[in-house]
Amino acid sequence: MEDNKIDINSLIGFFLIGLIFIGWLYLNPPPPSSEVIQTIDNDESIVEEPAEQDLSDILSESKIDEYDDDDDEGILNFENLLTQNDEIISVDADKFIVKFSTLGGQISSLQLKGHLNYLGNPINLIESNNSSFNLDFTTKNGRIFNTKDQKFTPSLIDQGSVKKVSMKLVVSEDVFIEYIYTVNLTDYIIDLDINSRGFYNILDTTQRYNLNWELNAFRNSKSISYENRYSYLTYYHDEDKIDYLSISGEDEEDEEDVNWISFKQHFFSSVLISPKEKPFKNVEFKSEDLVQDNSTDTLFTKKFISKIPFDYVNSEFDNSLRFYFGPNQYSQLKTYEIGLEESVDFGWGIFGFINKNIFVPLYRSLSSLFPFGIAIIFMTIIVRIVLAPVLYSSYVSQAKMKILRPELDEINQKFKDNAMKRQQEMMSLYRKAGANPMSGCLPGLLQIPVFYALFMFFPSAFDLRQKSFLWADDLSAYDSILDFGFYIPLYGDHVSLFPILASISIFFYMKMTTGQQMASQPQPQEGMPDMRNMMKYMIYFAPIMMMVFFNNYSSGLSLYYFVSNLLSIAIMFTIKNYILDERKIRQQIQFNKSQPVKPPSRFQRRMQAIMEEAERQKKNK
C-alpha cells in the first residue's frame, strides 16, 4: 500500500483553471436584472421586460418597436435627451418668482413676494423637489412612460404683461408633447396648456392617461400643531359643494365633477383649477400627516396627492388648466368667481354666513382706519354693544328667579315626595309671577353663533398675519413671552400672555355672573345634582382650560376674548348698579301675582300631559 502524496502539478492545473473561469465571468457579466432570460425545452427564449419604462431608457436603442408597420411615424427617436443638461427658466412677476425645470417640464420653484415665514425667510410653495407634476401614459406596446423623468426643450416668449414658457418633449420635428405656461405678471394665476402632435400612432388610446400632482407642504408658522390644524386638502365639486380630507393621519377619497383642488397650507394655497364649464370627471385624492410629534421641528406638515384621469382628444393630449399660487385671502380669492373663497374655513352654516357677511367686511373696514390690534378692540366693542340687550335680558331673568327662590324652596320641601305635584306648583308660580326659568338660558344660546363665528374668524383672517400689537409680533400666531426650551404636553413649549389675561378676565366675569345664577337656583330636588356646586367648579375650571387651550392659538383671538370679557364685566356692573332695580322687579312680580292667571300655553299643556303620563307609568311600575 502506497502513501498518499500531493500532486503539485494537479494543484497548479486547478489554480490555472480557476483563473480562467474568473476571467471569463469578468468579461461576460450576467444580463441586467430588468431582462430575465429563461430557456425552455423547445429552445425558445422569453425576455421579461418591466411594465414601466422611461423614455430615456430607450435611447440606448436606435428605435423602439414599430406600432404600425405601415407608418414610419410609429418609431420614437428622441432628440438631445442624452446631451441636454437640466436647465432652469425663471420668470420674475409682481406676485412671485417662478422657475421652470427642463426635467419634467414642470415648476421647480415658486417663491411668493412680500410674505415671510416665522424665521423671516421668503415663503416657498415649491422648492427643493417638494412638488411633482407628471403625465403617465401607455404606448401601444404596453410601455408606461412618465413625463417627470424626461428632459424637455425650453423656450421663453415675452409678451409684455404676459410671459409664456414652452416646455417641449421632442420625438421628432412633427412628434412632440408641449407644455405652455402663461404667467400673468400682475396676478397669482398661471395658465397651463398641454398638447401633443403625432402621438396618435404611439398611444394606446383605449386607456386613459393620468395627471399626477404631488406636493409636500412646507411649515411656515411658529406653532406646528396650530398650522397643521388648518392645513388640509380641500376640493370644490358640482359647482357649489366643498369638501376636504382629514386634517390628521392618512385619508383618501374619490370624487366626480371636480372644479378645483386646493393643497391648503393654512394661510397659503396651491390650487389646480379645471377649465371653465369643464370640471375634472374624476379625481383620486390622498393626504398624509407628516407631523409625528408636535414637540419636534419638522420641515413639512402634510403630503398631498391628486390623480386625474383624462381621455385623449383625437388620439392626442389636449388640456387647458390653471394654477393659483398665493395667499388664502378671502377678498383676493373671491375675485376669481369660481368659489375659491370657500377654501377659507370661516365655519359652516350660520357661522360662515355671519363671518362672510358681517365680520369680514367689518374688520376690513376697521383695519383700514386703525392699526390691526386696535381694529380688533373696536370690533369687540361693537359686538358687545350689539349683544348688550341680550345680556340685560339674561340678567333680568336671573334677578326674577333669585326673588322667587324662597317660594320655590318652599314648594320643593312641601311636595318633595310628589314630583308631579311639585312641578305643577312651580309652573303655576312661574305663570303668576311672569317669570320663565328658560329665559335666562336663551340669551346665552343666542350668543353661541357669534362666539363660534369669531372663534373661526381669527385663525383664518389672513389680514392678521405678521401684524404686531403690543408684545405680540404676529396676531395670527401665539404671543410668547417665555420659552421653556422643552415641551409640555397639551400646553406647549412657551407661555403666551394674552391667553393668561383672557383667563383672568373670564374668571372675574364668571365669578360675577355665576354668583347671580347660583343665587337664583332653588334647592336641588332629591336625587338630582346640585347645580350650584357644578357652577362653583366651573368658575375655576373654565379659565384653566382657556389658558391651556389658547396657548398655541392666534393671539388676535385671545386679545378679542380678553377685551370682550372686560367689556362684559363693565356692562354687567352697569346693569346691576345703575340700570336694574330689584325692588321694582319684586313689585312687578307681586303685581303679576294679583292678576288673573293666564291659561297655559300649548307648549305648557303638552309638557303637563307628558309629566302626567310619566307619573302614571311610574305608579303602574
Tens of pLDDT along 277-324? 789 999 999 999 998 877 777 889 999 999 999 999 888 899 999 999
Side chain identity at residue 570, one-letter code: A
**pLDDT surpasses 80 at 356:** yes
DSSP for 465-503? Answer: TT--BTTBS-TTS--EEEEEEEEETTTEEEEEHHHHHHH
- Give residue 211's pLDDT: 95
Q: Is residue 49 part of a domain?
A: no
| Whether residue 377 is found in the same domain as residue 435 | yes
- Give residue 161's pLDDT: 84
With b for 16 or more beta-carbon neighbours within 10 A and e for fewer, the 263-301 pattern comes to: bbbbbbbbbbbbeeeebbeebebbbbbbbeebeeeeebb
Question: Count of domains in the chain?
Answer: 2
Least confident window among 17-31, 93-107, 580-594: 17-31
- The domain boundary, picked from 309, 325, 345, lies at 345
**pLDDT surpasses 90 at 234:** yes
Q: Is residue 44 part of a domain?
A: no
C-alpha 457/C-alpha 461 separation (Å) is: 6
C-alpha 217/C-alpha 500 separation (Å) is: 32
Q: Cell numbers for 362, please give them.
A: 367689518
Q: Is residue 129 part of a domain?
A: yes
Helix, strand, coil % over all residues of the chain, rounded to 5: 40, 30, 30
pLDDT tier at 581, thresholds 50, 70, 90? low
* Contact assessment for residue 291 and residue 250, using Cβ atoms and an 8 Å cutoff: no
DSSP for 569-599? Answer: HHHHHHIIIII--HHHHHHHHHHHHHSPPPP
* Cα-Cα-Cα-Cα dihedral sign, residues 511, 517, 520, 524: negative
* Contact assessment for residue 118 and residue 194, using Cβ atoms and an 8 Å cutoff: no
3-state secondary structure of 49: coil
Run of H or E including 396 = helix 372-414
Give per-residue pLDDT as tens, 74-89: 334 444 444 456 889 9
Q: Is residue 195 part of a domain?
A: yes
- Give residue 534's pLDDT: 67
* Range 118-129 average pLDDT: 92
| Whether residue 318 is found in the same domain as residue 457 | no
Q: How many C-beta atoms lie closer than 10 Å to residue 538's C-beta? A: 13
Q: Is residue 276 part of a domain?
A: yes
* Contact assessment for residue 188 and residue 123, using Cβ atoms and an 8 Å cutoff: no
| Whether residue 338 is found in the same domain as residue 365 | no
Residues paired with 209 in a beta bridge: 310
C-alpha 533/C-alpha 518 separation (Å) is: 9
pLDDT tier at 382, thresholds 50, 70, 90? very high
**pLDDT surpasses 70 at 615:** no
- Give residue 621's pLDDT: 62
User: Which residues 6+ apart lie within 8 Å of 90 measured at CB?
Assistant: 97, 98, 99, 100
* Range 17-32 average pLDDT: 51
Q: Cell numbers for 105, please give them.
A: 417640464
DSSP for 189-222? Answer: EEEEEEEEESGGGTB-TTS-EEEEEEEEEEP-SS
* Range 160-176 average pLDDT: 89
Residues paired with 45 in a beta bridge: 39
| Whether residue 233 is found in the same domain as residue 111 | yes
Residues paired with 280 in a beta bridge: 258
- The domain boundary, picked from 300, 315, 345, lies at 345
C-alpha 181/C-alpha 468 separation (Å) is: 38
Full residue range of the structural domain in which residue 307 is found:
88-345
Q: How many C-beta atoms lie closer than 10 Å to residue 69's C-beta? A: 8
Per cent of the chain over pLDDT 70 is: 73
- Give residue 96's pLDDT: 95
- Give residue 174's pLDDT: 86
Give per-residue pLDDT as tens, 42-63: 333 333 333 444 443 433 333 3
**pLDDT surpasses 50 at 73:** no
pLDDT tier at 577, thresholds 50, 70, 90? confident
- Give residue 525's pLDDT: 54
Q: How many C-beta atoms lie closer than 10 Å to residue 6's C-beta? A: 6
pLDDT tier at 94, thresholds 50, 70, 90? very high
Q: Is residue 134 part of a domain?
A: yes
Residues paired with 301 in a beta bridge: none
Instruction: Identify the CA nearest to 245 among candidates 233, 231, 235, 263.
Output: 233
The residue count of the chain comes to: 621
C-alpha 483/C-alpha 532 separation (Å) is: 39
Give per-residue pLDDT as tens, 182-227: 999 999 999 999 999 988 888 888 889 999 999 999 999 888 888 9
Which residue has better confidence, 335 or 514? 335
Q: Is residue 51 part of a domain?
A: no
Side chain identity at residue 291, one-letter code: V
**pLDDT surpasses 60 at 30:** no
| Whether residue 362 is found in the same domain as residue 340 | no
| Whether residue 284 is found in the same domain as residue 227 | yes
C-alpha 520/C-alpha 502 separation (Å) is: 27
- Give residue 225's pLDDT: 86
- Give residue 523's pLDDT: 54
Q: Cell numbers for 159, please give them.
A: 409678451
C-alpha 284/C-alpha 213 separation (Å) is: 11
| Whether residue 306 is found in the same domain as residue 391 | no
* Range 524-553 average pLDDT: 74
| Whether residue 455 is found in the same domain as residue 554 | yes
Q: Cell numbers for 306, please give them.
A: 391628486
Which residue has better confidence, 403 or 365? 365
- Give residue 65's pLDDT: 43
- The domain boundary, picked from 310, 345, 380, lies at 345
* Range 163-177 average pLDDT: 90
User: Which residues 6+ apart lie within 8 Å of 69 measured at CB?
Assistant: none
- Give residue 76's pLDDT: 46
Which residue has better confidence, 485 or 29? 485
| Whether residue 324 is found in the same domain as residue 366 | no
- Give residue 286's pLDDT: 95
Q: How many C-beta atoms lie closer than 10 Å to residue 348's C-beta? A: 10
* Contact assessment for residue 475 and residue 559, using Cβ atoms and an 8 Å cutoff: yes
Q: What is the CATH number of the domain that holds 321?
A: 2.70.98.90
Residues paired with 495 in a beta bridge: 482
- Give residue 77's pLDDT: 42
Which residue has better confidence, 562 or 85? 562
User: Which residues 6+ apart lie within 8 Å of 196 measured at CB?
Assistant: 176, 177, 178, 316, 317, 318
Q: Is residue 333 part of a domain?
A: yes
Mean pLDDT (the chain) is 79
**pLDDT surpasses 80 at 599:** no
pLDDT tier at 611, thresholds 50, 70, 90? low
Strand 131-138 with 209-218, pairing: antiparallel
C-alpha 294/C-alpha 266 separation (Å) is: 16
pLDDT tier at 255, thresholds 50, 70, 90? very high
Q: What is the DSSP letter of 20?
A: H
Q: What is the DSSP letter of 103?
A: B
**pLDDT surpasses 50 at 461:** yes
* pTM recorded for the entire structure: 0.76
Instruction: Give Cα separations from 479 to 26, 218, 297, 466, 488 (angstroms).
Output: 68, 22, 19, 11, 17
C-alpha 140/C-alpha 207 separation (Å) is: 10
Instruction: Give Cα separations from 262 to 216, 253, 476 (angstroms).
Output: 13, 14, 21
User: Which residues 6+ apart lie within 8 Å of 420 measured at CB?
Assistant: 611, 612, 615
- Give residue 258's pLDDT: 94
| Whether residue 169 is found in the same domain as residue 298 | yes
Q: Cell numbers for 554, please give them.
A: 392666534
| Whether residue 292 is found in the same domain as residue 440 | no
| Whether residue 396 is found in the same domain as residue 260 | no
